[in-house]
Amino acid sequence: MINQSDNVLKLNSINRRMFILAAAKVVILGGIVSRLFFLQVKENKRYLTLSDKNRIREWKLPPIRGNFEDYFGNTIAGNFEAYELHLIPEEIENFRYTINRVRNILQLSDSQFQKILKKKNQIKPWENLIVSNNLTWENFSKINNNLYDLNGVKPVISISRSYPFKENFTHVLGYVSQANDQDILSNEIIKEKFVQGLKVGKIGLEKTFENDLIGNNSIERYEVNAYGRRISQLEFQKGNKGKTIKLTIDTEVQKLANELLKEKAGSICVMDIFTGHVVAMHSSPSFDANKFVFGISNDDWQLIRNDPMKPLVNKSLSGNYSPGSTIKPIVALSALENKVINSNFRVNCRGHKNPLELYGQTYHCWKKEGHGIVNMREAMKQSCDTYFYEVARKLGVDKLSDTAKKFGLGKKVFGDLFEIEKSGLIPSTFWKKNALGRNWLLGETIITGIGQGYIQTTPIQLCLMTAQIANGGHKIIPKIILDSKTEEEDKFAPIVEDAKNMKLVQDAMFSSTNEVRGTSYRSRIDDPKYQFAGKTGTAQVKRITKQDRELDLDTSEIPYEERDHALYVAFGPYKNPRYAASIVIEHGGSGGSVAAPLAKKLFKKIIDRHEIRKNFESNKYLNI
């Protein structure tokens, strides 16, 4: 009994140990399984996250560019719907087949086809390859009708730049074209917002205000399948359109300036003499900015580039011209202000037979017979060179230089707004010594007094000069951007010491246009509403020899490049001045016969538009 009982107890003890061991194994195995399960879940989650990343793709769309508007709110640079064709290489199973189908449908030339293949090698497989960014509706429809056989081909309606007034604003606005490597490297904002097909400003205000105009990219997030094809749109973040920029320019006056300069090389500028608003600024010849938006053709480029009238040059801002006799109001004013002369100072002009002689040099008046004895008013009226030779000699170049600079000559009118604007040159004794290392000569003072020699001005500077003469000799800050904030602490500060001197000069300019023997008398308007005062100028482009004087050729008989430039500056209406204008016609000949007649139509338009402009401004403030 005892032995049997001991055996049972031993057996039970063994069973308990085996049970405990088994239970321990189960616990251990369970822990391992749990751990493995946890790791597997974690790994699955990781792969799930990677899978989400793989199946969701983000596309950046080109930002929508802001508009330019004229003073009245008319769009002068805007956007339009363009029909584009994009390919996404990674979505195309057989690229060779697809691209050849597209080539046949669109009838692409060999050069166009090669450009597309070259572009494909420059982008990532999932990026858009732009086959065309300006399809016709006909070709856009053809592509859409064949989409069943064109995997990875995307017809797109996008937004592109439009210049509705074509060549009228090109030299003010500039133009946009596709961003290149230089654009991307030089501008961080362009770099950040760059996508294939992005267009950016290349010149003019389009370039100056690039960062304000460019806008923000819209973002599309799509779900794609294993082949990279889009399944569904998950999210669309709409980007903000770029800023709208308003100009002071009146489109109707700008268009007239374009018409008046047709088939001529030159410039017309118009400015409000109190606000400094630029009402028109046109350089001719111009070109249609729309041609550059999608890339200009080689034929069009060669026509523009090789035109002898230089349409690529903005003559209003970067055309440097001798001002000729348009500088005479400043010479007279400077002499009066410095008390070198008074209004009764007289000079006897005896013509070509008795020219002014200094140190072996002769200085002729333009009129062969001479003007006789003239005072300041009569000399301005008839533009007597001999009178202004003598005034300049008595005045000296440094005093003249100081006065000219007060009236806006010799420095940029718009500061850094236009990178192509030139400063011109107002010479002085210090300038010559510093720049050329030589002393100033008296003869150089003589010719500076009639706007020849070293002196150089731009048309917009001449317009500003005239505006400040017209407003009685007060400083104005020229503006072409309507809402721009500029430092105007000294705006309308007097820049003359004696207002009576300003009146004398204004009256002399009136006589030049509105009295018999005045150099622009034939361009006068008798109606006081439109009546204007002005000063003609004829700027030599080459030295006139004795033989040239004896031949006395008509302008039409002289080679184009050797003809004088024709200039005219004016302000009106005379009794209550409000606007100033400058007109420059390259190689036009006489300012009185070529430039001044354009002012007649110009001032009628400007003054008629003034009431419209004034009423628009009043209504604008009433609606705030």
Summarised one tens digit per residue, pLDDT across range 185-234 is 999 999 999 987 889 999 999 999 999 999 999 888 878 776 556 677 78
Res. 533 pLDDT band, cuts 50 70 90:
very high
pLDDT tens digit sequence for 260-270: 999 999 999 99
Res. 379 pLDDT band, cuts 50 70 90:
very high
Q: Using CB atoms within 10 Å of the CB of residue 31, give its burial: 0 to 12 exposed, 13 to 18 middle, 19+ buried.
A: exposed
Say yes or no to pLDDT of 52 above 60.
Answer: no
Instruction: Answer yes or no: are the C-beta atoms of 579 and 564 closer than 8 Å.
Output: no
Of 331, 344, 288, 333, whose CA–CA distance to 311 is shortest?
A: 288
Res. 50 pLDDT band, cuts 50 70 90:
very low
Average of pLDDT values for 525-547? 86
C-alpha of 544 from chain center: 37
Choose between 58 and 206: higher pLDDT.
206
**Cα end-to-end span (Å), the chain:** 117
Confidence at residue 197, expressed as pLDDT on a 0 to 100 scale = 80
Confidence at residue 11, expressed as pLDDT on a 0 to 100 scale = 46
pLDDT tens digit sequence for 583-597: 999 999 889 999 999
**Least confidently predicted of 390-394, 445-449, 557-561:** 557-561
Confidence at residue 32, expressed as pLDDT on a 0 to 100 scale = 52
Of 275, 256, 199, whose CA–CA distance to 481 is shortest?
A: 275
Average of pLDDT values for 346-357? 90
Confidence at residue 555, expressed as pLDDT on a 0 to 100 scale = 67
Res. 322 pLDDT band, cuts 50 70 90:
very high
Instruction: Answer yes or no: are the C-beta atoms of 239 and 219 closer than 8 Å.
Output: yes
Distance CA 331, CA 324 (A): 12
Res. 338 pLDDT band, cuts 50 70 90:
very high
Res. 45 pLDDT band, cuts 50 70 90:
very low
Choose between 446 and 122: higher pLDDT.
446
Look at the chain and count its residues.
624
**276: which DSSP letter?**
-
Say yes or no to pLDDT of 348 above 70.
Answer: yes
Instruction: Answer yes or no: are the C-beta atoms of 90 and 126 closer than 8 Å.
Output: yes
Res. 295 pLDDT band, cuts 50 70 90:
confident
Res. 303 pLDDT band, cuts 50 70 90:
very high
Say yes or no to pLDDT of 335 above 80.
Answer: yes
Instruction: Answer yes or no: are the C-beta atoms of 77 and 255 closer than 8 Å.
Output: no
Confidence at residue 47, expressed as pLDDT on a 0 to 100 scale = 44
Say yes or no to pLDDT of 549 above 70.
Answer: no
Res. 487 pLDDT band, cuts 50 70 90:
low
Instruction: Answer yes or no: are the C-beta atoms of 304 and 297 closer than 8 Å.
Output: no
Confidence at residue 323, expressed as pLDDT on a 0 to 100 scale = 97
Compute the half-sphere exposure of residue 539: CA atoms within 13 Å on the CB side of its CA: 32
Res. 81 pLDDT band, cuts 50 70 90:
confident
Confidence at residue 211, expressed as pLDDT on a 0 to 100 scale = 96
Say yes or no to pLDDT of 245 above 90.
Answer: yes
Confidence at residue 548, expressed as pLDDT on a 0 to 100 scale = 59
User: Mean pLDDT score of the chain, rounded to an integer?
Assistant: 88
Confidence at residue 220, expressed as pLDDT on a 0 to 100 scale = 83
Distance CA 142, CA 406 (A): 64
Average of pLDDT values for 556-576? 88
Average of pLDDT values for 503-511? 98
Encode burial over 501-512: b for 16+ CB neighbours within 10 A, e otherwise: bbebbbbbbbbb
Say yes or no to pLDDT of 1 above 60.
Answer: no
Average of pLDDT values for 84-88? 85
**Least confidently predicted of 2-16, 160-174, 311-325:** 2-16
